[in-house]
Amino acid sequence: MKREATEEEIERNFKETRRKVSRRCQQRWKKKQQKETAKEVTNLYFPPTVPFNLTSNVTHSMNIDNLRTHGFTIDPSLPRWERLANTILRMPPRQWFSRLDQTAFHNLCSRTKPPLGTRLLLGLSEKFCIERGRPPGVDRRFRINFERLRRSIRLRDYFKFQHQAKADDYIKELYISSNWEPPAILHGDMEQRMMSYAIKLEQLFRRASQRRRPRYNLSPLQYKVLQDLKENKEIIVCLTDKNLGPVVMDRADYMKRALNDHLNTSTYTRLSYLEAKKAMRDIQFDLEMLLEHYGDTLSKPEQQYFRRFLQLEDYRTKQFYITIKVHKNGATRPIVSCCGSFPEGFSKWLDYKMKSLLPLVPTYLRDSYQVLKELREFKDLPSNAKVFTFDAVSMYTNINTAHALEIFSKWFTDFKDEIPSGFPKTFFMKTLEKVMGNVFQFDDLFFHQEDGTAMGTSCAVLYATLYFGYHERTSIIPMFKTSFLYLKRFIDDGIGIWHGTTQEFERFKQALTFKNLRWTTSGLQDSVDFLDLNISIENGRIVTRTYEKPLNKFLYIPPTSAHSPGVLKSTIHGNVRRYWFQNSNIEDYKNQVRKFKSRLEARGHAHADLVPIFKEVFTALDKESKSPPSATTTTDSSNVLFQHGEYHPRGVSRRDICRAFMDTIGNDSGFDRFVIAYSRPRNIRDALIKSTLSDTDGVRASSFL
């Protein structure tokens, strides 16, 4: 007789014979459970309302809006203090501990009201990087970055037995990489090792992008404001001059200011679409003909640069935009974005050649560090010594192009012995004339700049420096060399130490005028502000302090920004070192460092995170003050292998990438170093501030003519 199976045996047989549930079914079941749980939570906080109870329906709708906008709900029946306490308790710790005390932006809207919470978003500063919910996975950018690394290794192997590149064969400022693809490495197993590295890297990135829950560094309200500002056709977000924070203003007012302050003047001529296209084609054709005719006068690296530049496609039309000078009662500064345009390629070459002419200008100033170094050489100044500054009035637009070309010709004739040998003077002059013919677009309008410097082009700064430098060398310095002890100029800002008479200084102010270019002076004083310095004469010696504009918002990058951790460290190192060199008195230096630390804390940085970095800087400065720094050896970038990638706070770590590289490729790549080069994610400026006004649904510039 057959024995009946027990319950334990039946259950065991059932478990052994039943089919294993697939992973997809398990995921579907989990999603179903999550939906049911979310529904229960929703019913718990938002119970079904009675159809005829209007107050309950309104409360339910308000809670839904608050949940979507602010990320939390409130109970109107509770007292205000209890609602506030509940809101703070529900706030994520990361949001609470990194809250900002210093958030500001400039609201210049006169007709339209900015969205609620605009200050919370733009107060983060336009450099705030937006964190993606999950780290980047194996996408198109991942494959492009790996192909760049593989191409570098193949190039190094292909040219292993070729001649080493000489310094004369390579110009860093004019280098454009070629599109040539080297062949695969046939000897050894490097190709297999590179594929093994790619597989390991792919596994790391897939695991990082799938196993993590989404997390964002913007609140629901800030995301909503970001979307509202992008979709709003009546509001425009722009930048301020001197980096004083973002500005929100009406799109119509922005266009009126650009037209009335700049474009509707005699400096510019409006063109139709067909006229503008023809003018840009003519400029491109003339530059190509000049290059074909005078190309033999250029060096081989310069010829290679132009050959590769002409192979590029889809040249961009120059775009006009303005920045707001909030420190000068809302005046505007005109700027033309020339990047990607055809004349810009020739302008970069002009900028490179102008750098070799800078030794001709004795008043040329590189930066404020040069001022500090040179002024500290003055020990005992005369009792009548005074300091002064001079500033150009709209320097770029007031430089007459024909006169500037004449001045450059005089540089080549009057100082021909100081011009570098082999300088292509004819090609330089003809190219400069064509590049200064500026044709650009503003919304749906096109303009031609009849006179003045082509704003925004690469050579504009040195073009203006050399233009007025000729007048300084041939007129001002010979006439007043016995009256001033020091005279330097940084583009349109100059500084000097005067020990002559007051009558001679009045003559000096009149002599500054050069053709259409006018200058304003501060007068002879004991203390002036120049660049980021306050320079004073005290008891016959120079005393310097750090100068900061009163309207500066000090919008340092908050800790929640998706920047690499090295950004904060470099910011502190750079600023503390700058304060150390700029302040003559130790008390001024200490006060400046204290203010800097408090401003970082106001931007959300914790005291515990800042103190170790500050101590590290203080230790380094103390060592440098006791003993001069040893000579540092610069690493040749051609011997460094870069692994490019976008940074994410919760992405694959540098350590894991380096371990995968060493386990597969190792030290056989042919390079001395392996460096992970992170690029920043998209920031608020990328999302909101554009140089191109392409919203066809909004107000167009042509409607204000």
Model pLDDT for residues 331-380, shown as the tens digit of each residue: 888 889 898 899 999 999 999 999 999 999 999 999 889 999 999 888 88
Instruction: Give residue 178's pLDDT.
Output: 85
Tell me what percent of the residues of the chain surpass a pLDDT of 70. 84
Instruction: Give residue 15's pLDDT.
Output: 47
Please determine, for residue 642, whether its predicted confidence score (pLDDT) is greater than 60.
yes
Is 140 within 8 Å of 570 (Cβ atoms)?
no
Instruction: Give residue 690's pLDDT.
Output: 83
3-state secondary structure of 100: coil
- Tell me the range of 70-74, 206-210, 352-356 where mean pLDDT is highest: 352-356
Q: How many angstroms separate the CA atoms of 457 and 344, rounded?
A: 6
Please determine, for residue 45, whether its predicted confidence score (pLDDT) is greater than 50.
no
Is 663 within 8 Å of 656 (Cβ atoms)?
no
DSSP secondary structure code for residue 442 in this structure: E
Please determine, for residue 281, whether its predicted confidence score (pLDDT) is greater than 90.
yes
Instruction: Give residue 31's pLDDT.
Output: 73
Cα angle: 428, vertex 431, 432; to 5 degrees: 80
Q: What is the CA radius of gyration of the chain?
A: 32
Going 120 to 124 to 125 to 130, the CA torsion angle's sign is negative
- Specify the pTM: 0.83
Please determine, for residue 294, whether its predicted confidence score (pLDDT) is greater than 70.
yes
Stretch among 88-102, 423-437, 513-527, 614-628 having the lowest mean pLDDT:
88-102
Please determine, for residue 67, whether its predicted confidence score (pLDDT) is greater than 70.
no
Instruction: Give residue 176's pLDDT.
Output: 87
Tell me what percent of the residues of the chain surpass a pLDDT of 90. 50
Q: How many angstroms separate the CA atoms of 142 and 153, rounded?
A: 17
Q: How many angstroms separate the CA atoms of 322 and 455, rounded?
A: 11
Instruction: Give residue 194's pLDDT.
Output: 93
Residue in 129, 54, 93 with CA at minimum distance from that of residue 680: 129
More confident residue, 624 or 645: 645
Q: What is the pLDDT of residues 589-632, one digit of tens each?
A: 999 999 999 999 988 898 999 999 999 999 999 888 766 555 44
Residue in 198, 219, 204 with CA at minimum distance from that of residue 103: 219
Instruction: Give residue 676's pLDDT.
Output: 93
Average pLDDT estimate for 244-268:
89
Is 583 within 8 Å of 150 (Cβ atoms)?
no
Sheet containing strand 331-337, strands side by side: 268-271, 445-449, 439-442, 319-325, 331-337
Average pLDDT estimate for 233-255:
87
Average pLDDT estimate for 65-87:
66
Going 578 to 584 to 588 to 594, the CA torsion angle's sign is positive
Please determine, for residue 637, whether its predicted confidence score (pLDDT) is greater than 80.
no
Please determine, for residue 123, whether its predicted confidence score (pLDDT) is greater than 80.
yes
Instruction: Give residue 641's pLDDT.
Output: 93
Confidence of residue 18 (pLDDT cuts 50, 70, 90): very low
The rounded mean pLDDT for the chain is 85
What is the distance, to the nearest Å, from the Cα of residue 527 to the centroid of all Cα atoms in its chain? Answer: 33
Identity of the amino acid at 564: S
Please determine, for residue 29, whether its predicted confidence score (pLDDT) is greater than 80.
no
Average pLDDT estimate for 168-175:
79
Please determine, for residue 471, whether its predicted confidence score (pLDDT) is greater than 90.
yes
Domain locations along the chain: 42-91, 566-626
Instruction: Give residue 99's pLDDT.
Output: 63
Instruction: Give residue 27's pLDDT.
Output: 72
Please determine, for residue 565, whether its predicted confidence score (pLDDT) is greater than 50.
yes
Confidence of residue 43 (pLDDT cuts 50, 70, 90): low
Average pLDDT estimate for 239-261:
88
Please determine, for residue 668, whether its predicted confidence score (pLDDT) is greater than 80.
yes
Instruction: Give residue 702's pLDDT.
Output: 87
Residue in 309, 270, 318, 272 with CA at minimum distance from that of residue 287: 309
Q: How many angstroms separate the CA atoms of 646 and 31, rounded?
A: 31
Please determine, for residue 44, whether its predicted confidence score (pLDDT) is greater than 50.
no
Stretch among 65-69, 76-80, 95-99, 395-399 having the lowest mean pLDDT:
65-69
Q: How many angstroms separate the CA atoms of 95 and 100, rounded?
A: 10
Instruction: Give residue 1's pLDDT.
Output: 46
Average pLDDT estimate for 668-696:
86
Burial class of residue 263, CB neighbours in 10 A (0-12, 13-18, 19+): buried
Q: How many angstroms separate the CA atoms of 571 and 556, rounded?
A: 9
Please determine, for residue 494, whether its predicted confidence score (pLDDT) is greater than 50.
yes
Q: How many angstroms separate the CA atoms of 238 and 324, rounded?
A: 8
